[in-house]
Amino acid sequence: MPGSTINEKADDKSMTGNGKKSTRKQVSKDLVIEKGLHFLREAGAEHICSVCIENGGSCCSGCRHLLDGMGCQRRNTSCTAWLCGFLKFVLYEMELLQDWDAFWNQIPGQSYREDFTPETITIRKDLVIRNFQIISKALASDLQELEKTQIAIGFIISLREKINKHIDRLGYYKNDPLKKAKTKENIRILSTPFYRFHKACAEYRLQHQKQAAQLIHERLTSGTSSVREL
């Protein structure tokens, strides 16, 4: 995007809570928005959005910046940062929701369907892009299957809002272990019908565990070889 630049003078360092140095970076607002959109693309958000739209629950419905057949005409930090209940659930299960929130909490000027974010922003925490489209695609398939078997009108959107409410409550109850545990159990119950999703998550985690173990093995082997050469 035009103006998507990072200030090379990113040497202003401060101490974080764990005693480690944190580097501040100056970034453009356009780059922040593109970073968020890139993350969502790699997360497979479009698969979930298509289900919500088909069920009359588009989060962009009624927005003056949305043109039929052309999409959003005015990207902003607020809409990019916002997640529906289903996307929150995916990031929650992937243990990425806190990272997403931490990134956007740095960005000032967010409002409703618009922003007053400065053109240049100073951030400490970056957003790591990961490809887990297969996870979101599996959830979308589960939702489409649920929609076919449910008689109640608006069931999918109602389910989305219930999941959203309970995930938000986790933040409210962070200092109350009993209520937090109860809320997590409610989320688990609500997600019980997501068979494909849970299977995809398990396979994804297993694959990454194997990759991590292989990387550790290669490093140890490489280190042993270097010692022998000495």
Could you give the 3-state DSSP secondary structure of residue 26?
Answer: strand
| pLDDT at 10 > cutoff 50 | no
Q: How does the average pLDDT of the chain come out, rounded?
A: 86
Q: Model confidence over 192-209: pLDDT tens digits?
A: 999 999 999 999 999 888
Whether residue 162 contacts residue 85, with contact meaning beta carbons closer than 8 Å, is answered with: yes
Kindly state the average pLDDT of the residues 210-214: 83
Looking at per-residue pLDDT, the higher value among 101 and 211 belongs to 101
**Residue whose tokens read 């140095």:** 21
pTM (two decimals): 0.82
CA distance 198 to 203: 9
Kindly state the average pLDDT of the residues 26-44: 96
Please tell me the total number of residues recorded for the chain in this structure. Answer: 230
Confidence (pLDDT) at 13: 47
Kindly give, in sequence order, each residue whose CB lies less than 8 Å from that of residue 139, ignoring residues fewer than 6 positions away: 47, 48, 86, 89, 90, 194, 196, 197
**Eight-class DSSP state of 13:** E
CA distance 27 to 124: 10
Whether residue 100 contacts residue 167, with contact meaning beta carbons closer than 8 Å, is answered with: no
pLDDT confidence band for 64 (50 / 70 / 90): confident
Neighbour tally for 163: CB within 10 Å = 20
As a whole-number percent, the residues of the chain with pLDDT over 70 amount to 87
Q: Model confidence over 213-230: pLDDT tens digits?
A: 888 878 888 765 554 555
| pLDDT at 142 > cutoff 90 | yes
Confidence (pLDDT) at 178: 96
Triad 41, 47, 49: Cα angle to 5°: 90
Q: At what angle do helices 85-93 and 133-149 cross, to 10 degrees?
A: 130
Confidence (pLDDT) at 21: 53
| pLDDT at 172 > cutoff 60 | yes
Which of 19-28, 114-123, 192-201, 206-215 has the least mean pLDDT? Answer: 19-28
In the chain, what are the domain boundaries?
13-222
Lookup: tokens for 166: 């309970």
The burial of 194, by beta-carbon neighbours within 10 Å (0-12 exposed, 13-18 middle, 19 or more buried), is given as buried
| pLDDT at 37 > cutoff 70 | yes
